[in-house]
Amino acid sequence: MKITAIKALQLRNHGQSVVKVETDSGQFGLGEAGAPGPIVRAHIKDYFAPMLLGQDPLCIEKLYTLMTRDHSQWQARYVHMPTVSGIDIALWDLAGKAFGRSVSELLSGRFREQVALYANTGGPEDWLDPGSCREWARTEKAHPCGWKTLKFGFERMVGRGLPPGRYQGGSPSMMLTQSELALIRKGFENCREALGWDIDVIVHCHNEWDLPTALGLAEAVAPIRPLWIEDAMPVMYTEAWRAFRESSPVRVMTGEKLELLSEFLPFIASGGAHVLHPDLCYAGGITGCRKVADLAELYYIPVVTHCVGSLVQLIATAHYGASVRNFVMSENRLPAGDLFEEMSEEGIKIESSMLAVPRGPGLGITLVPDVLRDNLAPGEPWWD
């Protein structure tokens, strides 16, 4: 086979793009890139298509190297990791179809037939009102997917306990006062009381706090025994991350904004996190994220996946999870709706927070063209 075209389209209410790699055999692979359609298509047209058209799509490691190893002065301009990630996932889907095997079987054989999912929620409307917390907990527990783990931050406390303007996601090295930390502690304790102890909790941050605040947050939430605290400090590694990990009373997790193994490496080798959180659509696709998992395994570090995309990313992540020994669970956006069941002919199966990994060739999903056409983002072309 030879690659004949690489295309992308963006769906309504999704900030990412579905990618298609076509070949001269008529077979094609599907992936998902962690960026909007116009951006992904521009990078494909200007850089990746000239590099990949005519190549053998089964030489995945070689093509991944071609896409990511341009160390010239133009690297920052052309090596766009969200686009690399979408193409890589599509190549694995294509390889699975070519060999008649699922992606997870082709990668390593399966360590598991189901992968655990956790749900991202905003938490209760009023964290300091036990009644509001109990109402929220009842709603979450009644979800048909049967969530066993919930992730939430304390954004909804702003204006309801915390002063307006105290939360600015992504603003580096902000701090919280001791009185604010006391309110946050009370809010999380109310959530735990409402949920009980049969639901695990993840504490959500957005890479915005300084080291003393990160430690203060970890100490504040320690009584509710969360699985981990996510992204409590700015994105890139410094020695502050190792200090945080060594002193925190709860597990420290990060990684959703990191690209390539090189950005995960210091967190792994220097002990900057207990748990890593790569995103297949951003960190390098299946190939890139397997490199992260393989190195993390040598340091006894578990891997959890960030996943805020469409059904394509969810299923690609499931195959990754099935084939990675040190995988724990994945985020998902099923509670937000936005085309999951409807996107594929096969649908999805989730029971008690566990997603069944498809057994069909490649990713094991067949997208429904009419559903895609009816839900294109405004101004999006059809498979350009």
Q: Which token pair is 109?
A: 């054989």
- Residues 191 and 233 reside in one and the same domain: yes
81 and 116 in a single domain? The answer is: no
Residue 293: give the domain boundaries.
Answer: 106-360
Backbone conformation region of residue 358, classed left if phi is above 0, alpha if psi is from -120 to 50, else beta: beta
Nearest of 93, 11, 21, 7 to residue 365 by alpha carbon:
93
Residues 347, 216 share a domain: yes
CB 30 within 8 A of CB 20: yes
Indicate if 16 and 154 belong to the same structural domain.
Answer: no
Q: Which two tokens stand for residue 308?
A: 């805020």
Residues 113 and 73 in one domain: no
User: Is the same domain home to 192 and 327?
Assistant: yes
Separation CA 155–CA 204 (nearest Å): 9
* Residue 175 within any structural domain of the chain: yes
Our count of domains for the chain comes to 2
Domain-embedded: residue 384: no
**Is 235 part of any domain?**
yes
Q: Are residues 160 and 47 part of one domain?
A: no
In contact, 31 and 19? CB cutoff 8 Å: yes
Same domain, 93 and 132: no
Q: What is the pLDDT of residues 281-320, one digit of tens each?
A: 999 999 999 999 999 999 999 999 999 999 999 999 999 9
- CATH code for the domain in which residue 326 is found: 3.20.20.120
Q: For residue 181, tell me if it sits in a domain.
A: yes
CATH number at residue 88: 3.30.390.10
Alpha helices in 69-122, H assignment, sequence order: 75-78, 81-99, 103-107
Residue 379 in any domain: the answer is no
Percent of the chain with pLDDT over 70: 96
Strands (E) across the chain are located at 3-10, 17-23, 28-33, 114-120, 149-152, 200-204, 229-230, 252-254, 275-276, 303-305, 327-332, 350-351, 354-356
228 assigned to some structural domain = yes
In a domain, 309, yes or no: yes
Residue with tokens 């295309």: 7
User: What is this structure's pTM?
Assistant: 0.95
CB 212 within 8 A of CB 177: no
Q: φ, ψ for residue 19 (rounded to 5)? A: -115, 140
For the chain, the farthest-separated pair of C-alpha atoms sits apart, in whole angstroms, at 65
Please give the backbone phi and psi of residue 309, each rounded to the nearest 5 degrees, phi first.
-100, -155
Please indicate, yes or no, if residue 365 is contained in any of the structural domains.
no
Same domain, 122 and 152: yes
Same domain for 111 and 49, yes or no, is no
d(CA 31, CA 17): 8
pLDDT tens across the length of the chain (384 residues): 999 999 999 999 889 999 999 999 999 999 999 999 999 999 999 999 999 999 999 999 999 999 998 655 455 556 899 999 999 999 999 999 999 999 999 999 999 999 999 999 989 999 999 999 999 999 999 999 999 999 999 999 988 888 887 767 666 778 999 999 999 999 999 999 999 999 999 999 999 999 999 999 999 999 999 999 999 999 999 999 999 999 999 999 999 999 999 999 999 999 999 999 999 999 999 999 999 999 999 999 999 999 999 999 999 999 999 999 999 999 998 877 777 788 999 989 999 999 999 999 999 999 999 999 999 999 999 998
Q: Are 114 and 163 within one domain? A: yes
